[in-house]
Structure 1
Amino acid sequence: MMFVGTVLRNCYKIVRLLGSGGFGDTYLAENLDLPGHPLCVVKHLKPRDPNPDVLQIARRLFESEALVLYKLGHENNQIPRLFAHFEENGEFYLVQEYIEGSDLSSEVTVGKRWSEQEVTQLLREILEVLTVVHKQNIIHRDIKPQNLMRRREDRKIILIDFGAVKQISTLVNIQGQTSASVAIGTPGYAPNEQAAGYPKLSSDVHAVGMLAIFALTGIKPHELPRDPTNGEVVWRNWANVSERFADILTKMVRYHFSERYQSAAEALSALPAPPKPKPQPKSQSTPIPAPLPTSQPTLQSTPMPRRQVIQMLGLIGTGVGLAIVGQQLLQGVFRRRDDVVETPTPSPSIRSDISSTSSPTPKQLATPRSVSLQTFNFETVSVDAQGNINNRSNRQAKYFAQDLGNGVTLEMVQIPGGTFLMGSPPGEKQRESNEGPQHQVTVPGFFMGKYEVTQAQYQAIMGNNPSNFKGEKRPVEKVSWNDAVELCQRLSQKTGRTYRLPSEAEWEYAARAGTTTPFYFGETITTDLANYNGTKTYASEPKGQYRRQTTNVGSFPPNAFGLYDMHGNVYEWCQDDWHDTYQSARTDGSAWLTQGSTNVLKLVRGGSWGLSLGLCRSAFRYRVYPGLRYYVIGFRVVCVVA
């Protein structure tokens, strides 16, 4: 047990113990890195078995599940966010969101009977959140009132207790069982297949249905009788509901999983539509108010207010593990994608079937003031759907070298301006809706970093190196959007030139370098061409390496513009605010910013070392809290032309 005042990682100061369980302790803490020292929750997991092999299993599960928790929380503000996770001396720590509120055990109680209308609304709220989870093929495995909080400030339902915590501690003490085969759950809510260690998405549907029946009957799920002939729960004698609603609940809690709704989305679609609000009578004496903005910011930039921070997941009592159906946990951390491009500069060296356009004009090739351009030679390659190299080409690009002092330079490559089609076509594999609609964008010429900003370059400008994977030539990571912007500001002051983050349009235009395929190498890539998680495939290429860390910049072939590591290695911050689609997006290549507000998410592009190939496409895009520092996120810079 940690003492009050203990500081972890020079950042998280323990305030008090919140609770203890069989798998560790949960603490309230202050984040000393942020203004005002906002509160957070630190979970301390202590595996019980000291066996090194067991510890290795725990480490792998902790890492992969923590990344999934991170993804889920940043996809939906009704799922708590994971701010950090780390290991020290064989023990594991999660830093999570804490939000004031109370769980549903204070509302759904023994003897209290809710109306059908009230339960229908409750089901709708729970299933909407659970749908987000199920869309990622993740099984919660412990839906119950204690794991559903009602947030005080907006009364929304928050789904908590995704604790990899309990799953890890259980797994490391069970030989020969997989993450999906460990029986985790609560009696009465967990169905028979889950109790046997084989949970399904429909197992969560069963638990939600049993919670609804508890609210209707006032009887705890494990106290309701079961039909001895078929195992079905007997509940209708204690509830006054319509036949239609009774049939929905009965299907949700069927004994055999194949007879239930197969996912939260399917169950949600079976519920009656919510009643439409009654139209308000118009009054000639009352002016009609102006319409509200169509998009509202979802998270706040720094400083982060106390009331926004942090929600406990569940180390206390009966935590829940995650189960992944059909794909790896790790590649869930970030998933979003972006689209195809037609650029003005032909790239026959990459793909012979890309049509060329006219060469850029001299104005498009403008250079920064007082810059002497040099030329470098490089080779590009393209591959077929099997990952076989089918073309090699020698190319040239112009650049200038920015002296940062102490022998450290920053190479800035000239990117010719042009027009391209931004946003993915509907047929692109693993496409998501935020990649559309496709739209034509005209991008003026600019200079972009030949490589992701390295640790040596970051040290030269900022005087520190926050990276997890140390190496002067490796990309800097664990830098927030705010950190990246500050480096650009300092670099501009140091050099007298204007440096900034790329706009999202500039990034995609530069990444594609004239290609319209998912990757600038072609229909796929291999781990010989980029640093990503090669344990899964995208097209017909073979599986490859999973290096589990960053690599030196420039270790793999560049694209036709002479830019390296635009696929994989680390995510790269862009200047823009996050928008869910490209509807009404800018077409001039500039950053798309939300006027008059700092309460916005930012975005990253390009994938990372920890993600599968499909998540490293040129089209890939994902929203991220601007204050987040994570070891899969770095950046590269742009220099504004004169």
Structure 2
Amino acid sequence: MSQCLNPDCLHSNPEDCQFCQKCGSKLRLAERYYAKSILGQGGFGRTFLALDDFKPSKPPCVIKQFLPQAQGTATLEKAAQLFDQEAQRLELLGKHSQIPELLAYFTADNRQYLVQEFIEGDTLQQQLDNQGAFTENQISSLLKDLLKVLYFVHKHQVIHRDIKPENIIRRASDNKLVLVDFGASKQVQRTSLSVTGTVIGSAEYCAPEQAMGKPQYGSDLYSLGVTCLYLLTQASPSDLYDPLESKWVWREHLNGNQVSDKLGKILDHLVETVFKKRYQSVEEVWEDLRRYYGKPPTRQTPQPVTQKFKFDIVTVNSNGQKINRRPGQAECIIEDLGNGVILEMVKIPGGTFIMGAPSSEAGSNNNQRPLHRVTIEPFLMGKYPATQAQWRQVASFPKLKWNLYPEPSNFKGLNLPVERVSWYDAIEWCARLSKRMGKPYRLPSEAEWEYAARAGTNSPFHVGDTLTTDIANYNGNCTYSSEPKGVYHQKTTPVGQFQHANAFGLYDIHGNIWEWCADPWHEGYGGAPSDGRVWDGQHIYVGDLVNVLISKDTKVLRGGSWYGNPDYCRSGYRFSGGSGDLNVSYGFRVACALSM
């Protein structure tokens, strides 16, 4: 069934309907999302279970419709601000395995909509209702799991402000806890912690300073502590605190549930009403968990998860018209880099291809020739260019040779590709990642990059004869063939925003960011190796020593960028940059040997 989103209708329609049979409203949002049923309704609007009709597997998602019940101009403005704020916070936090991913945020029919990842599972409130009070082991596991998420949230200067059992979901697929509903969250500026603001949050779980409009990072820890007390006792938090005695009396409501002194001390410290006496940071709670339970909840090296994923593969003609669409599937290895940051590595199958661009290809030149056959062994390559969240996390690992600036990018956003990083920076980043994970992460060779980008095609682009701005991020004021001009974003876009992967399952291969390769620059392919290895300038004789030294200090960049025209985005296009260059269009994509 398709649920009508018109607030005055909400009629259920047969699945194949494009328009509501009762009111005539369009059923699909943004031509891709359609609601199946109503999940809930609150003061700010309705939440719908929906499907993404744009993807072959039609994965479930959640549509949040802004439809405030409050009255008064000021109240409505505040409600709209909070709805918009949730989208901003989800985008700011980027991709975290235990925070729902923001998929879209837009206005349709004069109503605001937010679309996010659907988390299948029960809330902790539902789990409490179904299974009864939590045990000490369950509470300690809960703390270890959620503190990692809170560390990530606080590290990115966000206070959630509404932690409670209804906003924590135990995901059915892996039993992990997922923190949801960032509508009350607040981004912290350096001056804002001392400024009184709006009181937001659920009263029973709200820290005293937050109730006064002055939330702190420790306010989230207080709410987490109250949540734990409620789950242990099944008693309302208001019954667990004696205002006449100004103390917590939660132990009187355990009803035979056993709680050790070590956990009791941690919980007491979490719910301390005097802010300065409470835990001030996630790290302080971790330290007590380590001391009392003997196992630090971080510092573990999780085993990578292997999973298959589906995607759309499209082909366009020289006019930019999509002439074919087919489903694709690939396998990727998901590495946990810590603090909720993941790295998705796609398995690239081995094979042989013709490297370079023929003279008949528009825009090609001699540095992309002679055409030559290259055989590539299977390897792993990043599903996306390295993001700023991944860069920041790995930059925090111990230094090996060079210092790494944690936030080098001009365009800020955790899910945006990292840019303004030199070839040397990328090499250091890969080395730190390799040492931490115990695997040989590196930049791809130029041959590996082109083989992975083409993904079995021999056309200028993996999508066919030209490129359009609904497929890739480049300067849409320019064209390559007969396609119309398009959008020029004038900046990078979040990785994976453009839905069309190539046949190997790689995204953003064309445009968005130039990607460093490991190879020194050569003016053509004369003498290039045929086995896909890095073409080391030290072993190639180009006429004289000066040219060799120059080739060693100048490296290869591939893929084009947001700044350039579509010609630069061709699979066979080559570009060069100085090893130390910092440019707002230079980033990278990581590779690794398959034998991990």
TM class by shorter chain equals: 0.5 to 0.7
Aligned to 1:302: 311
- Give the Cα separation in 2 of the matches to 1:238 and 1:74: 39
- Give the Cα separation in 2 of the matches to 1:412 and 1:92: 52
Whether 1:429 and 2:434 are equivalent positions in the alignment is: no
Pick from 200, 219, 226: which aligns with 2:235? 219
- After superposition, give the CA deviation of every residue in 1:106-138 in whole Å (9 maximum; x if it has no partner): 333599544433332333233233233223232
Give yes or no for contact 2:475–2:565 (8 Å, CA) kept in 1.
Answer: no
Which amino acid is the alignment partner of residue 305 of structure 2? Q
Equivalent pairs counted in the alignment come to 411
Whether 1:592 and 2:589 are equivalent positions in the alignment is: no
- After superposition, give the CA deviation of every residue in 1:357-376 in whole Å (9 maximum; x if it has no partner): xxxxxxxxx994755xxxxx
1:59-74 superposed matches below 5 A: 65-70=86-91, 72=93, 74=95
Q: Tell me by how many angstroms 1:10 deviates.
A: 0.7
Question: Residue 461 and residue 253 in structure 1: after superposition, are their counterparts in 2 closer, same or farther (change >3 A)?
Answer: same
Q: Tell me by how many angstroms 1:501 deviates.
A: 11
Aligned to 1:83: 103
Give yes or no for contact 2:463–2:502 (8 Å, CA) kept in 1.
Answer: no
1:343-422 superposed matches below 5 A: 368=356, 371=359, 402-403=361-362, 409=363
Which amino acid is the alignment partner of residue 162 of structure 1? F
Question: Residue 110 and residue 471 in structure 1: after superposition, are their counterparts in 2 closer, same or farther (change >3 A)?
Answer: closer
1:64-213 superposed matches below 5 A: 65-70=86-91, 72=93, 74-76=95-97, 78-88=98-108, 91-108=111-128, 113-163=133-183, 181-213=197-229
Q: Tell me by how many angstroms 1:302 deviates.
A: 3.3
- After superposition, give the CA deviation of every residue in 1:497-533 in whole Å (9 maximum; x if it has no partner): xx999996618989xx9889xxx9xxxxxxxxxx9xx
Aligned to 1:465: 470
**Per the alignment, in what secondary structure is the counterpart of residue 300 of structure 1?**
strand
Whether 1:233 and 2:248 are equivalent positions in the alignment is: yes
- Give the Cα separation in 2 of the matches to 1:80 and 1:16: 19
Aligned to 1:269: 287
Q: Tell me by how many angstroms 1:552 deviates.
A: 6.6
Give yes or no for contact 2:240–2:248 (8 Å, CA) kept in 1.
Answer: yes
RMSD over aligned CA atoms reads: 5.8
Give yes or no for contact 2:85–2:183 (8 Å, CA) kept in 1.
Answer: no
Aligned to 2:47: 26
Question: Residue 264 and residue 55 in structure 1: after superposition, are their counterparts in 2 closer, same or farther (change >3 A)?
Answer: same
**Per the alignment, in what secondary structure is the counterpart of residue 75 of structure 1?**
coil
What TM-score does the superposition give when structure 2 sets the normalisation length? 0.54
What TM-score does the superposition give when structure 1 sets the normalisation length? 0.50
Give yes or no for contact 2:516–2:588 (8 Å, CA) kept in 1.
Answer: no
**Per the alignment, in what secondary structure is the counterpart of residue 561 of structure 1?**
strand
- After superposition, give the CA deviation of every residue in 1:555-574 in whole Å (9 maximum; x if it has no partner): xxxx97389x98446x9784
Pick from 24, 27, 38: which aligns with 1:17? 38
1:502-581 superposed matches below 5 A: 506=517, 561=577, 567-568=583-584, 574=589
Q: Tell me by how many angstroms 1:147 deviates.
A: 1.0
Question: Residue 462 and residue 265 in structure 1: after superposition, are their counterparts in 2 closer, same or farther (change >3 A)?
Answer: same
- Give the Cα separation in 1 of the matches to 2:584 and 2:175: 40
- After superposition, give the CA deviation of every residue in 1:152-198 in whole Å (9 maximum; x if it has no partner): 2332222211236x989xxxxxxx99998222111221111111111
Pick from 497, 500, 510: which aligns with 1:483? 500
- Give the Cα separation in 1 of the matches to 2:137 and 2:501: 50
Which amino acid is the alignment partner of residue 466 of structure 2? I
Give yes or no for contact 2:357–2:364 (8 Å, CA) kept in 1.
Answer: no
Same amino acid, percent of matched pairs? 27
Which amino acid is the alignment partner of residue 296 of structure 1? V
**Per the alignment, in what secondary structure is the counterpart of residue 592 of structure 1?**
strand
Aligned to 1:252: 270
- Give the Cα separation in 2 of the matches to 1:70 and 1:412: 43
Give yes or no for contact 1:189–1:210 (8 Å, CA) kept in 2.
Answer: yes
Extract unaligned runs of 5+ from structure 1: 169-175, 277-291, 306-331, 337-365, 372-400, 404-408, 416-421, 450-455, 493-498, 521-530, 532-549, 577-590, 597-642
- After superposition, give the CA deviation of every residue in 1:426-463 in whole Å (9 maximum; x if it has no partner): 632317987535899797667999xxxxxx99896256
Question: Residue 227 and residue 592 in structure 1: after superposition, are their counterparts in 2 closer, same or farther (change >3 A)?
Answer: same
Which amino acid is the alignment partner of residue 260 of structure 2? S
Q: Tell me by how many angstroms 1:266 deviates.
A: 2.3
Which amino acid is the alignment partner of residue 234 of structure 1? V
